[in-house]
Amino acid sequence: MPALTLHWFLPTNGDGRQLVGGGHGVGTGSAGAIRPASIEYLTQVARAAEQVGFEAVLTPTGLWCEDAWLTTAMLIARTERLKFLVAFRPGALSPTLAAQQAATYQRHSGGRLLLNIVTGGESFEQRAYGDFLDKDGRYERTDEFLRVVRALWRGETIDLDGKHVHVEGAFLDRLPDPVPPVYFGGSSPIAGEVAAEHSDVYLTWGEPPEQVADKIAWVRRLAAERGRTVRFGIRLHVITRDTAEEAWAQAQSLLSALDEDTIAEVQAGLAQSESVGQRRMRELHGGRHGGDARSLEIAPNLWAGVGLVRGGAGTALVGSHAEVADRIAEYHEIGIDEFVLSGYPHLEEAWWMGEGVMPILRRRGLWEPPAGGGLAEDAPRSVPFAAVRPGR
């Protein structure tokens, strides 16, 4: 099997030691940005991710966070090799401009751009951006948008009089090198069709392995019908510690900080979501927890507690470093090659992963750090003065 790839997350809506509310346009008003998403703080997170060996950081998009294109462009000069998985919505700009921006980004960054195409799951948020298409219309537009972008990246001049996208004589004077890979997710039937046609990496949220295996088989079949192959990635939070007891104690701490009114408010908002993936996340916990973190363990070491107050990715791998490595290996065995991980706070949790889990994956031959990344596993060092005897 190919070696797996590990990515981290850039918290551009703020960070803290508790679960930060919001996501998918649902504001909870409960978890403040204890650490504002300043360039200074985001630089710390990015450099930590770079140092421990992550390939890239996912940077989200939406009303609740800083703009991903601008923020990551500012971080290029503050990092050395880290790549940026920039999320953006096709309805917010023309495909020609998006293709041009990606080409410019690749030239100025030395090829450090990856693209996460987000069709948009909530009509009320899309309308705030001036987008009044319904869900199926948004996916139809994404398909047309990517047809144009892909053609431009191939060096073609393209005319398209589509249902939603209209361009005439579109071309790029300079092509991106390398062409940025396209990451795409979605659980509805139309999302699968678009993913099979255009994505390089299909992303799923962290469902139990058997459900993830079904999604992989579904998209793989759709892609094969088009003569394409697709890689697969998963989006998960992570709580990893030296012992399982410590990890679950941290999960319990996050859960205990939530109040019932906040959970009810967020769940009521998420229940209105048009996203099939969001519905599947909610079904994992059902809005109930009973106050005990372990009651939300929906599969070995897979915790659904994050989804009580967050839209989007709502599950976390919780356990000792060896247990988290085991679960990553399990997902890898069913076909997941890329892991987009995160944790609260993102600075400290990046180091827990880098010091605890990633060396285990490396020793097992499952992961190799990018050139210039990864922590050295030095031989044990002697304790100062431990060998000094009195009188010597």
For residue 379, pLDDT beyond 70:
no
Residues 239 and 317 sit within 8 Å (Cβ to Cβ): yes
Integer angstrom CA distances of residue 296 from 222, 291, 307: 33, 10, 10
Pick the CATH number of 5-237+317-363 from 3.40.50.300, 1.10.1330.10, 3.20.20.30, 3.20.20.10: 3.20.20.30
Strand partners, 232: 202
For residues 14 and 21, give the distance between their C-alpha atoms in angstroms, rounded to a whole number.
10
User: Amino acid identity of 313?
Assistant: A
Written as six digits, the tokens of 337 are 């090659």
For residues 5 and 36, give the distance between their C-alpha atoms in angstroms, rounded to a whole number.
29
Spatial neighbors of 391 by CB under 8 A, at least 6 apart, are none
For residue 61, pLDDT beyond 80:
yes
- What is the DSSP track for 247-271? HHHHHHHHHHT--HHHHHHHHHHHT
Cα 287 to its chain centre, rounded Å, is 23
pLDDT digits (tens, 9 = 90+) for 325-363: 999 999 999 999 999 999 999 999 999 999 999 999 999
pLDDT digits (tens, 9 = 90+) for 131-186: 999 999 999 999 999 999 999 999 999 999 999 999 999 999 999 999 999 999 99
* pLDDT cut 70: percent of the chain above it: 93
For the chain, the 3-state helix, strand and coil shares in percent, each to the nearest 5, are 40, 15, 40
For residues 11 and 65, give the distance between their C-alpha atoms in angstroms, rounded to a whole number.
8
User: Amino acid identity of 382?
Assistant: S
pTM, 2 dp = 0.93
pLDDT digits (tens, 9 = 90+) for 198-249: 999 999 999 999 999 999 999 999 999 999 999 999 999 999 999 999 999 9
pLDDT digits (tens, 9 = 90+) for 250-264: 999 999 988 888 888
Q: Report pLDDT for 21.
A: 45
Show me where the domains of the chain are located.
Answer: 5-237+317-363
CB-side neighbour CA atoms (13 Å) of 315:
29
User: Amino acid identity of 348?
Assistant: E
Integer angstrom CA distances of residue 295 from 97, 125, 285, 300: 48, 33, 9, 12
Q: Is 342 helix (H, G, I), strand (E, B) or coil?
A: strand
For residues 298 and 315, give the distance between their C-alpha atoms in angstroms, rounded to a whole number.
9
Dihedral angle at the C-alpha atoms of 135, 138, 143, 149, nearest 10 degrees?
A: -150
Indicate the average pLDDT of the chain.
92
Residue showing tokens 């400290």: 348
* pLDDT cut 90: percent of the chain above it: 78
- List Cβ<8 Å contacts ≥24 apart for 2-5: 2/337, 3/365, 3/366, 3/367, 3/368, 4/328, 4/332, 4/336, 4/337, 4/338, 4/339, 4/361, 4/366, 4/367, 5/55, 5/233, 5/337, 5/338, 5/339, 5/367
CB-side neighbour CA atoms (13 Å) of 297:
14
Of 258, 278, 262, which Cα lies nearest the Cα of 270?
278
